[in-house]
Amino acid sequence: MRTPQSRLFQAAVMQSWNAIVITDADLAVGGRVEIANPAFCKMTGYTLDELRGRSLKILQGPETDPAVIDELRNCLREGRVFEGTAVNYRKDGSAYTVRWSITPVRDDDGVVTHFVSVQRDISESIRAEHENRLLARALDAASDPIIVTDVDKRIIFANLAFANVTGYGVEEVIGKTPALFRSGEHDDEFYATLRASLASGSDFRATFINRRRDGSLYHAEQSISPICDDTGRVSHYVSVSKDISERVDLEQALRQAATEDTLTGLHNRRHGLHLLEAAQRRTQAQGTSLSLLVCDIDHFKRINDRFGHPAGDRVLREVARILRQSVRSRDTVIRWGGEEFVVVLEDCPQGPAAELAERMRARVAEHRDAEVGTCTVSLGLATRAPHETTDALFARADAALYQAKRSGRNRLAVA
């Protein structure tokens, strides 16, 4: 007669979601099945009637690891608990991976009478693990830098391309947040837009200026996408980027070549003309003053003829530096061509403009080149009249310059 306790134990075994099988202790035949719960029958494809009295050797097959089976037998002979993983085969011949533990059951005299095995089909977990490893290898082989973060923005994966670009080892960034790479070049609005985009479930794409491990900056064309779990909740974020530093440098060099005089570093004539016209439009709209200085190095041809063009180029750079250092931060200094310079003075009436021009002239005259010695400049100044065009303003300043040269050079003439 079964006791309430034995009925409870039997119910627990038969209703467990883990596969449970109980065999006798006859190791000569490998242990015959006495009890197998529905979960075990479902996992193997055998009914209890088909299993009862048979050895579980019927579940072994070509891919079952003999070393695991040998270890199992040793444990059972010695009455020890066994834990292991192996490939078994269902009744229909299909393979599955099982993780199981086998525990000996002893009677009151300590003799092993049965073995209880608790098993779990881990085929899906193994398959998912293999797929994850394959995915990790694929991501690692990608040429573009990739990182994956959890929902708290902690990095859980970084590929080799990311390590190569940033200079950090993969193990150094795991557990860190992408804030590690912040350069300080982006404002709060940039990051607020990023957070708002990801919070809405949308991708965020932008050009990031990031900082490498050695402190150097690089430009990355980067996309960040949220990853959702089966319930639709964001669980991770994946970032794929491309180092575009070379392209950015090239674009910057092209822009610089289009706007900058290569010898002096000042605005070139083409770009300077655009800046002059823009200044003219602003002053006309705002009703402020606009003064224009035209400056020319005196006897520059003599410098080239006597000391050579390298010396002449050096004098041009020195004069350009003095002019740039003499003006206000909002003023524009242009190398107009040859030894001629133009200075655009916004919101600067004639009186202050003349004082600034005199300061320029004096500083150039005070400067001494080690080879050439001193040189001087002549300047022409014109202040824009109401409704005067840019061309007319320039013509008046240019005429004033020639007046300064006719009057003996190294002086300012005001139109």
Determine the Cα–Cα distance for residues 249 and 254; give it in Å rounded to an integer.
9
Residue 263's nearest CA partner among 315, 216, 227, 308 is 315
Determine the Cα–Cα distance for residues 415 and 409; give it in Å rounded to an integer.
16
Contact 178, 147 (CB under 8 A): yes
Determine the Cα–Cα distance for residues 13 and 9; give it in Å rounded to an integer.
6
For the annotated catalytic residues, the residue numbers are 339
3-state SS, residue 221: strand
Gyration radius of the chain over CA positions = 42
Determine the Cα–Cα distance for residues 323 and 94; give it in Å rounded to an integer.
87
Q: Which tokens is 19 given?
A: 């596969």
How crowded is the C-beta side of 134, counted as CA atoms within 13 Å? 6
Determine the Cα–Cα distance for residues 336 and 380; give it in Å rounded to an integer.
14
Residue 142's nearest CA partner among 130, 160, 129 is 160
Determine the Cα–Cα distance for residues 293 and 413; give it in Å rounded to an integer.
10
Q: Which residues pair with 222 in a beta bridge?
A: 206, 241
Length of the chain: 415
3-state SS, residue 334: strand
Q: Report which DSSP code applies to 384.
A: P
How crowded is the C-beta side of 387, counted as CA atoms within 13 Å? 0
H helical segments located in 291-371: 300-307, 309-326, 350-366
